[in-house]
Chain A
Amino acid sequence: MIDYSKFVLKPKEEIILQLKDVDKIFLIGCNKCFKEFKQFGEEEKECVELIKMLRENGKKVLGCADIDFLCNRIITEKIIGKRKELNQADCILVNSCGIGVQTIAELTEGTIPSKPVFTAADSIPQGGQHCLSLYDEEGIHFRCAACGQCFLGLTAGICPIVNCAKELVNGPCGGAKNGKCEIASAIGQVAGATGKDKDCAWEKIYQRLNLLSSEQRVASSETVIRDYTKPSLKTKNVITDLVREKRFEGFYGGVYPLEKKEFTSQKAIKIIPEHKQVVIPLLQHTGCPAEPLVKSGDKVFVGHKIGQSKGFISANIHSSISGKVIAVEPRSHPVCPDKILSVIIENDGKNQLSPEIKSKPALENLSPEEIREIVHEAGIVGLGGAMFPTQVKLCPPKDKKIDTFILNGAECEPYLTADERVMIEKTEDIIFGMKALMKVLNVGKGYIAIEENKPEAIAKLRAKSEENIEVVVVKTKYPQGAERMLIKRILQREVPLGGLPLDVGVVVNNVSTAVAVAEAIKTGLPLIKRVITVTGEKIKDPQNLEVKIGTSFKDLIDYCGGVIDGEMEQGTCLLKMGGPMMGIVQKDFNVPVIKGTTGILVTSPSDIEFTLLRACIKCGRCLDVCPMELNPSNLGLYAEKENWEKMHSEGVLNCIECGSCNYICPSKRSLVEVFKLAKKEICAKLVKNPQSSE
């Protein structure tokens, strides 16, 4: 990897001269956006040398903080705040680019002890380089001077501002000799210059213009005058503020993927005709699989319990149709990589309700325990996708006082509109279910959180909501719907790392879960159907559908008109269960809809594959978007070395697998996939050897 350092150490004399009046130094080094990844445990070479030099010159170095991306003020503040040695220091010496130094200097005005800040480094001018722009081809730098009046249309795509020493915009100065710029000999002295830097930009521009049609050359013959007002202070400040506001609205990080909800957001929920067969896996929840209660040949009814929950974290499974069990065997599952024991039922088309199904007494007459038992019996799990058994959430440990209930209608995943439609069409059930859940938990205050991009749902729920239920409109930002983010946004409470919402007195449930609860009480029906969105660019007629659990994905895609241009197969179609961000890629198009299926997404496969083989360029974007404030860049580099321990200590278990880092990564590294793997490995080790837990 090339050394893309953004700064170099100042001459020793200059550093020592600055520090003549100070004795005790606290050193802060930036791990550099472009510095090669260091092996953990090994200190940054420059800081080691710097410390040595300072000591040789009679200075005391009290401590050294090595931080990735000093410029990231929020994270930097947290890390430095913990360093107590800083109090005893006479000054802070910063080894970073100018932004890092300024960040630290600003922090000394408030959050960290007020000490003089000195800089040990000079920034290396990179000429407005950007993201992956360190490429150069044929001596042309792909850099952008951000001049505010792009000339590239006149210069055949070679930037004269970046590539010409005099930034000439009307043609060559005539100073080039043998294609080399007149400053060729002088530029040789500038650090880091390569031979290519010396080429005459205008000769290259001319060569390329020559390949093009005359028209562009004519345009190039007009006198061009630069307008130095273009990169105006106003635009710059306005946009900087805007971007900052957006980035930190509600919670740190997050991304803004294209919503693409317009495919289905206006389409009412359709109840689809039943299919001939359903495949109902006995594992449709977090925890232990349910035990089968039926065998091949058994007759079952709608709502018939076919799987018995086993253990505290588990859930009952019910038949979604009436008919005959034709097999109980392992089948492909949309979530688990291995085949899962499933009950396969052939539809008799009679839609006969199980005699056990009876509507329950009115809500007022039900005790919290009774409601909890109904929820348990109905096999209700979190329908937002996590599939955590709801009754477990309703049994908080005695020492945890729950004071707030949040109903999650954020639906921040792009494309998906099932929850949105449920909120519009089943408003009353939502309120009913929510009241039931609040009754179980005995909480006085409930919130319904909805992203601002669903005005109709907001209006409907506002109209129906009651005194102790407040509809909160949250910004459309991914992953706004994650529990932790909602709690922070609504209650300004921080769920501790490794903790659960109940640690801060909150229970969060999905809107569709509330509907299932309402249904279980009102009609007695267990969780046998749900609303999903079948969507994506490849779907002919995207829809919001109410489907029976166990219906195959393929049948539903066919119901929506099938796929556009070609076959429903891997290679031409990318099938995901869920949304594009957290959705799980499916290889088998015949997997069944389960309780946690929020949607079926069919798109074209991405043109560039995500892989860990592509190098991290340390651009820092993932740090900027990770809502859990982790360092996905470093975690990814540890994953390359399969260093699970280090990943554990760097907090990978806190990863909520939201996919923001994957989404933003310019190198398209498959970060989330390896984080999932690491979490699995770490958990396996913890189970085997609990002492290793920190």
Chain B
Amino acid sequence: MLITQLKPKEDLLSFISGEKVFILQCYGCAEVFLPKEEINLFLEELNNSGTLIVKNIISDYLCNYEYTKLRINLWAEELKKSEKIVIFSCGIGVQVVSTILNQVSSISHQSPVTSHQIYPGCDTLYLNGFQGLTPFNFDCAQCGQCFLNYTGGICPLTSCAKSLLNGPCGGAKNGKCEVAGPAGIVMDCGWEKIYKKLETIGRLDILKEVIKLRDYSKR
């Protein structure tokens, strides 16, 4: 599951200021997270700064290749009138639109949508958990060699800032990880949690088992 953040405004403006812009917003996962208000404020600013917003489309699930292909045909007229496309979605939406426009333009040269420049309006951030369901603070690193057997069901890869497999680094203070994030966001030391958990279930012996190594070829 993914969340997005508006790209720095200066970056965006440096690309599109003063141009004819086609705006595409994806509200499909907006139920998860899309900075709608920030985007609308930015668009307002953009409009006031002499950039022509040819069309501002609010769509959903741009990641769905089939729908997006259908819809791009519906927008053909406006696309023809614009020079740049800014897409407010996760990285997947941008890739899908870009690929479709590229296909259309390589098939037919009369096509209205040749050589459009596409800019992502958002940066996509990784969100805990898989897609679909509401995120929890559980996370899976999809390492391909689940270590949860050794760690009382607490993932050392995602609950330890260094993804250590064989025990704590010694950097934790009062149970908190040494990686104290800005604004007081501090994560608990994953290995302390693992130790306590194994202690409660009487399986501290697991910790003495073989040294564990990541196999990155599985990633």
Residues in chain A within 8 A of chain B (CB atoms): 6-7, 10, 14, 18, 33, 69, 71-73, 97-99, 101-106, 108-109, 114-119, 121-133, 135, 137-138, 140, 142-150, 152-153, 156-159, 186, 189-190, 208, 211-213, 215-216, 219, 230-240, 242-244, 247-248, 255-256, 258, 607-608, 619-621, 623-625, 664, 666-668
Instruction: Report A-chain residues with C-beta under 8 Å of the C-beta of B185.
Output: 233-234, 237-238
Known: A10-B146, A150-B91, A216-B117. A131 touches B124 (CB 8 A): no
Docked-complex contact A148 and B96, CB < 8 angstroms: no
Picked from A108, A236, A247, the residue with its CB within 8 Å of the CB of B128 is A236
Q: Categorize the interface residue count of chain B.
A: 35 or more
CB distance from A349 to the nearest CB of B (A): 46
Q: 1/0 per position for B1-13, CB-CB distance to A under 8 A?
A: 1110101000000
Chain A residue at smallest Cβ distance from B129: A99
Docked-complex contact B128 and A97, CB < 8 angstroms: no
17 pairs from A and B in contact (CB 8 Å cutoff): A18-B149, A73-B136, A98-B148, A98-B155, A125-B142, A125-B144, A130-B29, A131-B92, A140-B99, A142-B99, A146-B90, A211-B114, A237-B187, A243-B32, A244-B136, A666-B60, A667-B64
| CB interface residues, B 127-174, toward A, < 8 Å | 127-146, 148-149, 152-155, 158, 161
Answer yes or no: B43 CB below 8 A from chain A CBs.
no
- The CA-CA distance from A104 to B183 in the complex, in Å, is 31
Known: A157-B99, A235-B5. A126 touches B105 (CB 8 A): no
- The CA-CA distance from A668 to B3 in the complex, in Å, is 22
How many contacts between A and B, using CB within 8 angstroms? 291
Picked from A99, A125, A128, A131, the residue with its CB within 8 Å of the CB of B61 is A131
Instruction: Report B-chain residues with C-beta under 8 Å of the C-beta of A607.
Output: 67, 70-71, 74
Answer yes or no: B41 CB below 8 A from chain A CBs.
no
Known: A148-B124, A213-B115. A123 touches B146 (CB 8 A): yes
Docked-complex contact B7 and A150, CB < 8 angstroms: yes
Picked from A157, A186, A240, A256, the residue with its CB within 8 Å of the CB of B94 is A157
Picked from B122, B153, B158, the residue with its CB within 8 Å of the CB of A105 is B153
Answer yes or no: B208 CB below 8 A from chain A CBs.
no
Docked-complex contact B153 and A125, CB < 8 angstroms: no
Docked-complex contact A114 and B135, CB < 8 angstroms: no
CB distance from B173 to the nearest CB of A (A): 17
Of B32, B70, B142, which is in contact with the most chain A CB atoms at under 10 Å from its CB? Answer: B142
CB distance from A32 to the nearest CB of B (A): 10
Chain A residue at smallest Cβ distance from B141: A98
Chain A residue at smallest Cβ distance from B219: A125
Known: A150-B94, A664-B31. A236 touches B127 (CB 8 A): yes
Chain A residue at smallest Cβ distance from B12: A153
Docked-complex contact B96 and A158, CB < 8 angstroms: no
Docked-complex contact A620 and B137, CB < 8 angstroms: no
Instruction: Report B-chain residues with C-beta under 8 Å of the C-beta of A621.
Output: 31, 132-133
Answer yes or no: B106 CB below 8 A from chain A CBs.
yes
Answer yes or no: B48 CB below 8 A from chain A CBs.
no
Chain A residue at smallest Cβ distance from B36: A258
Answer yes or no: B195 CB below 8 A from chain A CBs.
no
Docked-complex contact B149 and A666, CB < 8 angstroms: no
Known: A150-B123, A238-B185, A666-B64. A102 touches B102 (CB 8 A): no
- The CA-CA distance from A211 to B115 in the complex, in Å, is 6
Instruction: Report A-chain residues with C-beta under 8 Å of the C-beta of B63.
Output: 130-133, 135, 142, 666
Docked-complex contact B31 and A255, CB < 8 angstroms: yes
Docked-complex contact A117 and B142, CB < 8 angstroms: no
Docked-complex contact A239 and B3, CB < 8 angstroms: yes
- The CA-CA distance from A620 to B119 in the complex, in Å, is 30
- The CA-CA distance from A150 to B102 in the complex, in Å, is 19
Docked-complex contact B67 and A144, CB < 8 angstroms: no
Docked-complex contact B96 and A142, CB < 8 angstroms: yes
Docked-complex contact A99 and B130, CB < 8 angstroms: yes
Docked-complex contact A149 and B123, CB < 8 angstroms: yes
Docked-complex contact A146 and B127, CB < 8 angstroms: yes
CB distance from A152 to the nearest CB of B (A): 5
Of B67, B95, B155, which is in contact with the most chain A CB atoms at under 10 Å from its CB? Answer: B95
Add 17 more A-B contacts to A106-B153, A127-B142, A219-B15 (CB < 8 A). Answer: A72-B133, A72-B134, A99-B140, A101-B148, A142-B65, A150-B91, A152-B98, A153-B15, A159-B91, A211-B114, A233-B161, A233-B187, A239-B33, A240-B128, A243-B33, A608-B67, A619-B131
Chain A residue at smallest Cβ distance from B117: A216
- The CA-CA distance from A687 to B67 in the complex, in Å, is 42
Q: 1/0 per position for B36-71, CB-CB distance to A under 8 A?
A: 000000000000000000000000110111010011
